[in-house]
Each structure stands twice: as C-alpha cells, then as structure tokens.
C-alpha cells in the first residue's frame, strides 16, 4: 500500500476513536517476526503501524514503523517503547509520519525528543548522531509558507514524507539485560505561531488575575 494512503487511513482510524479511548499496547512485530519491542500510546490521538522488519545478514537489524498523530493542544502526545525480549532489534526507524493539526492555531515549529536511554540519528538528512532532540523551525518546516495551517487541507504535516528531502529517523535504544529491560519515550509537540503564543500568555495571565481576585 502507498505510504501516504496508509497514513491517511491511520489518521481516519484515530479520528473514529471514541472520546477517552484507552492506552493500547502494540507489539512491533511484522508478519509473525518479533522485534522484541512494544509501543504504548493513546489510540484516540495516535496510530502506529509496522512496515517491515529488516535483517542484516541473518540478524534482524531494524524495525520500520509509521506514526500518525492528531494534536488537539500544544502538548506532548507521547509514544512509549518497551523492550520485551532479551535480544530485540537494535534500531527502530520512523520511516513516515503524518501529524494532523487540530489545535485551531497555526504551527511554526515541531519538536522531537527522547526521554530515556535512547538516541536519534538521521543520516539521510545530514544530522550527525547521536542526539536526543530535533526541532524543525519555521524556516525549515517542509510546508507552504513555513507553517502548518489550522484548517484542511493545510493542517497536515508529513515530516517523514518519502517524497521530500530527509529520510527515516533512526532511534538507537540502549538494550537492557533481563530482568532490567529498557524503556524510553518519544516526545513530540508543536509550537504555535508567536501571535498565538502571546494570546495564550495573555489568557493565562487573565486567568491568574481572576483566581487572585477570588
């Protein structure tokens, strides 16, 4: 299936989830091949699919995943990864992402961070690893006018679009030994345009004044 079609279907599934949907646990396995990892996330806002489990010689080298997320606020929508086997695949590659802006505000940058014993590398985009944080700013966002819009069709951001420069984002976890298996969290969140940030700050200050007057 075409990656863009698959991700569109992923976001449609997210949108169809009822309010308050539960945290799901998804093994990152492919066609019966275990990767040794599982992902946990809120399926009201996140969808994860496994594309491939690649091998290097006779040894699994990495598992390829796609991530779709819907942001309704300017806060982190996490995906947690847990090692569940003694010898897991050593690399998790995010080969495609689709982020839907449902905040009602324009985005001017987008953040990736890792919390826990794991690092990023991005060899196809000339990033020298390892690193734990990556930010696409207003000038580097790969969308029209350097922003992610607040309404369709300009509210979809595809930072891993295979038709655009860049490439897979590699995650290199520190592998734990039984019983001390490792876990880490992929943190992602957008930043609103400066005008929106100012309005949010004013609104927060007004709320604080009202609270103080009570």
For residue 102, what pLDDT band results from cuts at 50, 70 and 90?
A: very high
Q: What is the mean pLDDT of residues 142-147?
A: 66
- Structurally, how many domains does the chain consist of? 1
Q: Give yes or no for a contact between 108 and 195, defined as CB atoms under 8 angstroms apart.
A: no
Task: Please count the residues of the chain.
Answer: 214
Higher pLDDT, 84 or 129: 84
Helix (H, G, I), strand (E, B) or coil at 213: helix
**What does the alpha-carbon distance between residue 32 and residue 77 come to, in Å, rounded to a whole number?**
28
Kindly state the tokens that stand for 16: 């169809």
pLDDT digits (tens, 9 = 90+) for 171-195: 999 999 988 999 999 999 999 877 5
Kindly state the tokens that stand for 58: 């006779």
For residue 72, what pLDDT band results from cuts at 50, 70 and 90?
A: very high
Domain limits for position 177: 3-213
Q: What is the DSSP string of 96-159?
A: EEEEEE-SSS-EEEEEEEEESSEEEEEGGGTEEEEESEEEE-TTT-SSGGGSB-SSTTTTEE-T
């Amino acid at each position: 299936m075409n990656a863009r079609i698959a991700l569109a279907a992923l976001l449609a599934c997210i949108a169809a989830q009822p309010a308050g949907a539960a945290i799901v646990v998804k093994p990152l396995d492919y066609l019966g091949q275990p990767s040794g990892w599982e992902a946990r996330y809120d399926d009201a806002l996140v969808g994860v699919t496994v594309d491939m489990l690649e091998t290097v010689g006779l040894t699994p080298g990495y598992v390829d995943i796609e991530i779709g997320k819907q942001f309704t606020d300017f806060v982190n929508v996490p995906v947690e990864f847990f090692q569940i086997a003694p010898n897991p695949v050593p690399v998790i590659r995010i080969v495609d992402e689709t982020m839907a802006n449902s905040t009602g505000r324009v985005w001017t940058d987008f953040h990736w961070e890792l919390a826990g014993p794991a690092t990023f590398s991005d060899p196809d985009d000339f990033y020298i690893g390892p690193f734990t944080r990556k930010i696409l700013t207003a000038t580097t966002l790969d969308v029209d006018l350097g922003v992610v819009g607040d309404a369709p069709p300009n509210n979809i951001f595809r930072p891993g679009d295979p038709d655009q420069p860049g490439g897979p984002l590699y995650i290199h976890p520190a592998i734990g030994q039984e019983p001390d298996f490792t876990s880490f969290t992929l943190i992602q969140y957008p930043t609103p345009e400066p005008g929106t940030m100012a309005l949010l700050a004013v609104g927060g200050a007004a709320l604080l004044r009202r609270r103080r007057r009570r």
